[in-house]
Structure 1
Amino acid sequence: MLNKIMFGSLLLSFLLGAPLSSSFNQAHAAPPAAELFGKLPDIHDAALSPDSSKIAYIMNKDGRTVLAMTNLKEKESSPKAIGLGEGVKPEYVKWVNDHRVILSFWQSEESGGVPYRTGYLYSLDTNSMKGSILVDPSKSGRPSTGSRLAKSSVFRQFNNIVVDWLEDDPDHILMSYSENDNNIKPDIRRVNVSTGSDTVVQRGMPDVQYWYTDLTGEPRIGQGRADDSDASWVMRIRDSKTGDWNSADDYTGLESDTDIHGFTSNPDELIISSYQGQDTIGLYVYDLSKKSITRTIYHNNTYDATGVILSHDGDKIIGAKFTGDTPQTEMLGDTVTIMQNIREQFIGFTVDHIDQSQDGKTILFKVSSPYDPGAIMLYESSNKKFKKLAGLRPSLKPQELGEVVSISYSARDNQKIPSFVTLPPSITETSQFKNLPFIVLPHGGPYARDAKRFDYFAQFFATRGYGVLQMNFRGSEGYGKSFEQAGRDNWTVMQDDVEDGTKWLIEKGYADPDRICIAGWSYGGYAALMGAAKQPDLYTCAIAMAALTDIKGFMREQKQYRFGRQTSRAFIGNGFKDKDDIKANSPVKIAEDMTVPLFLAHGKYDQQVDFNQFRRMKSALRKSDANVTYMEFEKEDHYLSNEENRKAFFKGLDKFLERNLGKSEFAK
């Protein structure tokens, strides 16, 4: 249920915080309570109005999520907010004009025992603080009332896909959705942001699930997967002169699975990211009329480009994103000088561009470091003034958190594995870095990666006095095609890289060989369970949150979803030799080999890794001698998005570690 709430001074105090830490040299206090790591970030997302007069926030406060607005120009005005209903999981907030914001959110639901998410857009007039859901799930053509934000019987899953924000039309946006429930052939529709009324701009086409428009709002690209045995990628391109739709097969260098980021002011110039014959992904301009790459925006021989930053109107390319040791942005064009001014004030911190005013003179950004959760900041280039708007996790103080260092080790075949070690806050000199109890923490995905940035999971362990090793094993993204493919094609290699990292810690004398626990979330949980089964002499205990446990069962479960069978085969099945190899590398099939203490947790509404994976593992472990701690969470997703559940998880984990790894002498 949406409730209009005036927070007054409560919200004002929340939006003001202590200054950022400037260096890692403060006295270390007692460890923060475990449940503080379960608190959701105070700010989930923020957006700046086109005229730079107002800020919209998605905020978490005292277990509630609210959408709040504050006027930057009126010093005496009180911020306004509406509470979001129970179970609402916000995605982002964006201004469509100077007095209206759009909130994208999801709800976890279940049908016939199958968990799924439903997406919505909520349009809010910030003057009256009244709003409605734009696309009525009942397909009656009327926007839903506020009460529908908390509860709906909708079965159409995707009601929040925006194709074009139409910067030159403040009253409309282009959305993609279909008349049927399963989004087989979504249309492009022009939707009035106030009334929710719509008109069809482009009818759906076979095998097209995603649409892209040029800067004039004309549909130009249709992309999706074909309903065939391989779910092959399909791309259709509309000629700007004839209006005919053509296959991407006719366009040299434009692969069907190319990532599309938009158009330049030239309606034939497409902004893409792809390999283009290189080992790493670059950002390019592709001219559809010439059917070729005409300009390289950004390319790095070591790291993949991960995204592009466009100006407020989408007319200019102002930045390229990539992740080295830390997430980075290479600013381009006029914004270089502004961002350089910002970065010079925050040496040692990562600066992430969030939004900017229509004239480009006011920048909204996030600043953080590996040991500082960070804050949302505002910079006005006209007077070169900075303003801190809100801290992200003010209950976690930099002086209570551990330093993060970049390292690399050699795997058994001499492949270098880039990694990060988070040290307990009590470690202030490298000479103290020896014989620590350790947590080995492989990331999820598995086709994801870790970086030198704030990680609440790693910092939780560090504040308990444990060192934390996070490795980007082969299969991790961001380091080029060959590095990622080496793991994707061989899951054994990924597990070997994790094991080799653990042995490296011992060989170097960094870790106490009798006190090493392996932990992970999702794929990381799978790696933890495999470590417990395959190397019981290496690990003292294992922690698995939302873990994949039954590979064959997982691939079977994915058949419930469109293209699930094909994608699970491509992303998982190809990493094993045959059915016997899959069986030998499924934790449920080797549960009897797990003898170390285990901690397993899972949400019952997990859509990424079905809760049945937890059930099967629990059943299989009855045959094991392992001492197992279980935590099950009702109506919970893959990420423990519910704050109370997340707090309970960390409190339970804290007790498990003290019981099985022992209280660390490096804890304060």
Structure 2
Amino acid sequence: MIRTCLTRAGLARLVPAVALMLAATPGHAAAAKSESAQAPTLSAYGELPGVVDFALSPDGTKLASVRNVKNELWLIVVGTDGTGYVRASLGAAKVRAVGWADNNTVTLTKSDTVPAGFGFTAAKYELTGTVLIPLDGTGEKGLVFSRNNDIMNTTRGFYGVRTIDGRSVGYYGGIALDTSAMSGNPTFRHGRPYLYAVDIQTNRPRVVARAASEDHWRDWLVDAAGAVAVMIDVDETNGVWRIENARGQALTRGKDKVNGASLICFNHDGTGVIFELTDEDGKSHWYEVPLAGGTPSEFLEGVDVERLYIDRTSNLLLGYRKMGEKPETVMYDPVLQAKLAMIFRAFPDRNVRLMDWTGNFNQVVLRTDGNKDSGTWFFVDVPGRRADPVGDEHAAIPASEVGAISEVDYAAQDGLKLDGVLTLPPGREAKGLPLVVLPHGGPHAADEVGFDWWAQAFASRGYAVFQPNFRGSTGRGDSFRNAGKGEWGRKMQTDISDGVAELVTRGLVDPRRACIVGASYGGYAALAGVTLQHGLYRCAVSVAGVADVGLMYRTDVQESGGSNMTRAWLREDLGDPRGFDAISPRAFAASADAPILLIHGKDDTVVPFKQSLVMADALKDAGKPYEMVVLKQEDHWLSRSETRQQMLEAAVAFVEKNNPAK
């Protein structure tokens, strides 16, 4: 079996440059796991994680990481032999991921909130850019497309890197500009991306697939040789879709006015393509169709899949991991199967997720969390049967201060089986506790048993925290997800309070001492908990929450360019627009029965800031108690450490004022 080693000395032997970096950071890997008698400060939970992302070079000899050091992001690149390559501050950049284009070139994926000009369908956009960083100085450094005036400096999709004639070529979606204007300044044509092949060393692109026509969207699969082997085209006016091969021959086609179809990858031997469809009942199915043409057949029918493992150099399916009480990894290559089984066996009591790997899975980067683990990253050398920690996400939170995390099973009023995650405060008896209900966003997402920085922050202050997976949540089958259709403010809402009732029945919490807190859809649920429902919560905190469902519907349709598919999908998910007022907290502000705190980022491009403004106006007009905190220069994801901590401090203070833990 793989030997896990949590000692600093073991880390230093493998990657001493990383060890030095950790030692310079308050609370490195070893210190983070020591016992502590005092609860950490809120900043220990609210600051950005100490590790944002890790990536392995293709040959497994180098590690690139983005780390948060005293609220400043740094790029660190070291060799597994201890050689240092890069240690550079990234300033205020919102870095989303780090990767490798080849063994000599690191890539950074970042985003920026950009105001839109006249003629755009939204006031602001969150645009993604990819930065190339050559390690030896011989390549072109900078944003992909930055050398071309006729392409926007934003990447709209990444389709892999291929080695062609000895050169690394990256495939990126890009937005072409019109350079024919008399002013000489490039102008925006449309937002439908072309597919470009970019020479990584020179940063020079060439078009390899054209953009979709108006009211259509396209996606592609690039094979191991760098050829665009499969294309899907979807007509957003009527949902007609078509998948074709490199010769332009239709492999299969169909019509779905709500979801269309989507490409996934090539099958494991490269003879076919796997794609996804949704049936009339809203159930998702995967299908496999030969590249030479033929009848599609259902793929992995009846198997609940947690994730797929796809080869990054070919888009071939390597295997998958089944969901269930005992998750199982299935790889088509028995050698890879044995390696992954060994890796997962080495961490039996933690949540384990493979984050990066070499093509032969000899070197792997993985992330763990769970009880007694606030988020740890490991470098695993499979042939050497060794796993060494290379970073902590929350180094200032010792194992003793990670509140116990468990799953709670319960039933809704109509009998539907539900579950949620319960986090208990460290050092307190699990009896009659004050409660914070923390519904997730999405709403098509889910909370699993694991370390959650927001839940743990409230638990550290003496609260039990409950994260319900109400109907509509993912990872529990299509029928469960589809049970949420049309249930905003209705059964999705009572599923949450039914979970509270279960905790009360078990004697774990005090029903008179509960607040509800959430972000995005969770913020909507928090508002609904004290406006559409009554007598349940002593306060509500909505972070970037939806207050007016009709306003959300109109905004989403407008920002999609009036897409019929967007309109149809929203109506299927939300119900008849004529009923939107009946499920909008804004419309029921006058009946709010508890104080409300509204928190919202000014740069939010997902749930516009206006949603909290209209709720604040409605509460003010109704004479109801509320507070509002504006997060300047913050987006929907709380990407900046300063404003994320501002949010957490305000939310905890508000809950403590209205529902003291002691």
TM-score by length of 2: 0.86
- Name the amino acid aligned to 2:99: K
Conserved in 2, the CA contact under 8 Å of 1:558 and 1:565? no
Specify the alignment match of 1:166 in structure 2: 162
Q: How does 1:187-266 map to 2 (within 5 A)?
A: 187-206=194-213, 207-228=216-237, 232=239, 234-238=241-245, 243-246=247-250, 248-249=252-253, 257-264=260-267, 266=269
Q: How does 1:147-546 map to 2 (within 5 A)?
A: 156=152, 158-167=154-163, 170-180=167-177, 181=188, 183-206=190-213, 207-228=216-237, 232=239, 234-238=241-245, 243-246=247-250, 248-249=252-253, 257-264=260-267, 266-273=269-276, 285-293=288-296, 296=299, 298=300, 303=304, 305-314=305-314, 317-321=317-321, 324=324, 330-333=330-333, 334-427=335-428, 432-491=429-488, 492-546=490-544
Per-residue displacement from partner, 1:368-416 (whole Å, max 9, x unpaired)? 2254122221122222122221112212222101111112111111111
SS in 2 for 1:165: strand
Deviation for aligned residue 1:527: 0.7
Specify the alignment match of 1:554 in structure 2: 552
SS in 1 for 2:483: helix
Output the CA distance in 1 between the equivalents of 2:368 and 2:59.
Answer: 23
Deviation for aligned residue 1:434: 2.3
User: Residue 346 and residue 89 in structure 1: after superposition, are their counterparts in 2 closer, same or farther (change >3 A)?
Assistant: same
Deviation for aligned residue 1:264: 4.0
Q: How does 1:593-608 map to 2 (within 5 A)?
A: 593-608=591-606
Deviation for aligned residue 1:263: 1.7
Instruction: Indicate the larger mover: 162-171 or 458-467.
Output: 162-171
Specify the alignment match of 2:28 in structure 1: 17
Query: Of 586, 608, 611, which aligns to 1:610?
Result: 608
User: Residue 245 and residue 634 in structure 1: after superposition, are their counterparts in 2 closer, same or farther (change >3 A)?
Assistant: farther
Output the CA distance in 2 between the equivalents of 1:463 and 1:214.
Answer: 50
Output the CA distance in 1 between the equivalents of 2:355 and 2:275.
Answer: 21
Specify the alignment match of 1:148 in structure 2: none
Q: CA RMSD in A?
A: 3.2
User: Residue 215 and residue 20 in structure 1: after superposition, are their counterparts in 2 closer, same or farther (change >3 A)?
Assistant: farther
Query: Of 117, 129, 134, which aligns to 1:125?
Result: 134
Per-residue displacement from partner, 1:331-371 (whole Å, max 9, x unpaired)? 55322222222222222112211222244321221122254
Deviation for aligned residue 1:502: 2.1
Conserved in 2, the CA contact under 8 Å of 1:158 and 1:183? no
SS in 2 for 1:216: coil
Output the CA distance in 1 between the equivalents of 2:22 and 2:507.
Answer: 49
Output the CA distance in 2 between the equivalents of 1:108 and 1:114.
Answer: 10
Instruction: Indicate the larger mover: 485-494 or 520-529.
Output: 485-494
Per-residue displacement from partner, 1:219-259 (whole Å, max 9, x unpaired)? 2333354242x5x2633312x5xx124273279x9x98444
SS in 1 for 2:320: strand
Output the CA distance in 2 between the equivalents of 1:293 and 1:453.
Answer: 38
Conserved in 2, the CA contact under 8 Å of 1:110 and 1:605? no
- Name the amino acid aligned to 2:222: T
Conserved in 1, the CA contact under 8 Å of 2:530 and 2:594? yes
Conserved in 2, the CA contact under 8 Å of 1:48 and 1:55? yes
Output the CA distance in 2 between the equivalents of 1:435 and 1:279.
Answer: 41
Deviation for aligned residue 1:37: 1.4
Number of residue pairs the alignment of both structures matches: 625
Deviation for aligned residue 1:545: 0.5
Specify the alignment match of 1:42 in structure 2: 50
- Name the amino acid aligned to 1:451: E
Question: What stretches of structure 2 of length at least 5 have no aligned partner?
Answer: 1-16, 178-187
Deviation for aligned residue 1:626: 3.2
Deviation for aligned residue 1:535: 2.7
SS in 2 for 1:159: strand
SS in 1 for 2:170: strand
User: Residue 83 and residue 324 in structure 1: after superposition, are their counterparts in 2 closer, same or farther (change >3 A)?
Assistant: farther
- Name the amino acid aligned to 2:309: I
Output the CA distance in 2 between the equivalents of 1:111 and 1:563.
Answer: 14
- Name the amino acid aligned to 2:149: S
Conserved in 1, the CA contact under 8 Å of 2:194 and 2:209? yes
Question: What stretches of structure 1 of length at least 5 have no aligned partner?
Answer: 1-6, 142-153
Output the CA distance in 2 between the equivalents of 1:591 and 1:558.
Answer: 23
Deviation for aligned residue 1:11: 2.4
Query: Any runs of at least 4 consecutive aligned residues in structure 1 with deviations exceeding 6 A, and if so which?
Result: 275-280, 325-328
- Name the amino acid aligned to 2:252: A
Conserved in 1, the CA contact under 8 Å of 2:56 and 2:64? yes
Output the CA distance in 1 between the equivalents of 2:205 and 2:153.
Answer: 18
**Identical positions, percent:** 25
Output the CA distance in 2 between the equivalents of 1:455 and 1:325.
Answer: 21
User: Residue 262 and residue 247 in structure 1: after superposition, are their counterparts in 2 closer, same or farther (change >3 A)?
Assistant: closer
TM-score by length of 1: 0.85
User: Residue 550 and residue 639 in structure 1: after superposition, are their counterparts in 2 closer, same or farther (change >3 A)?
Assistant: same
- Name the amino acid aligned to 1:93: V
- Name the amino acid aligned to 1:588: R
Deviation for aligned residue 1:520: 0.8
Deviation for aligned residue 1:634: 1.2
Output the CA distance in 2 between the equivalents of 1:588 and 1:328.
Answer: 46
Output the CA distance in 1 between the equivalents of 2:574 and 2:312.
Answer: 45
Output the CA distance in 1 between the equivalents of 2:633 and 2:463.
Answer: 32
Deviation for aligned residue 1:91: 2.3
Deviation for aligned residue 1:56: 0.7
Conserved in 2, the CA contact under 8 Å of 1:89 and 1:106? yes
Deviation for aligned residue 1:578: 4.0
Conserved in 1, the CA contact under 8 Å of 2:77 and 2:87? yes
Conserved in 1, the CA contact under 8 Å of 2:515 and 2:539? yes
Output the CA distance in 2 between the equivalents of 1:517 and 1:326.
Answer: 34
SS in 1 for 2:516: strand
Output the CA distance in 2 between the equivalents of 1:418 and 1:233.
Answer: 37
Deviation for aligned residue 1:597: 1.5
Specify the alignment match of 1:56 in structure 2: 64
User: Residue 412 and residue 561 in structure 1: after superposition, are their counterparts in 2 closer, same or farther (change >3 A)?
Assistant: same
Output the CA distance in 2 between the equivalents of 1:51 and 1:578.
Answer: 54
Output the CA distance in 2 between the equivalents of 1:132 and 1:603.
Answer: 32
SS in 1 for 2:380: strand
- Name the amino acid aligned to 1:164: G
Output the CA distance in 2 between the equivalents of 1:130 and 1:216.
Answer: 22
SS in 2 for 1:554: helix
- Name the amino acid aligned to 1:562: S
Per-residue displacement from partner, 1:461-484 (whole Å, max 9, x unpaired)? 111111111111111122222211
Per-residue displacement from partner, 1:76-104 (whole Å, max 9, x unpaired)? x4452232243x22222221221111222
Specify the alignment match of 2:12 in structure 1: none
Output the CA distance in 2 between the equivalents of 1:193 and 1:8.
Answer: 27
Deviation for aligned residue 1:627: 2.5
User: Residue 336 and residue 650 in structure 1: after superposition, are their counterparts in 2 closer, same or farther (change >3 A)?
Assistant: same
Instruction: Indicate the larger mover: 385-394 or 516-525.
Output: 385-394
SS in 2 for 1:208: strand
User: Residue 161 and residue 44 in structure 1: after superposition, are their counterparts in 2 closer, same or farther (change >3 A)?
Assistant: same
Conserved in 2, the CA contact under 8 Å of 1:184 and 1:209? no
Output the CA distance in 1 between the equivalents of 2:640 and 2:659.
Answer: 28
User: Residue 615 and residue 217 in structure 1: after superposition, are their counterparts in 2 closer, same or farther (change >3 A)?
Assistant: same
Output the CA distance in 2 between the equivalents of 1:580 and 1:179.
Answer: 40
Output the CA distance in 2 between the equivalents of 1:476 and 1:437.
Answer: 25
SS in 1 for 2:115: strand
User: Residue 8 and residue 184 in structure 1: after superposition, are their counterparts in 2 closer, same or farther (change >3 A)?
Assistant: closer
Conserved in 2, the CA contact under 8 Å of 1:326 and 1:452? no
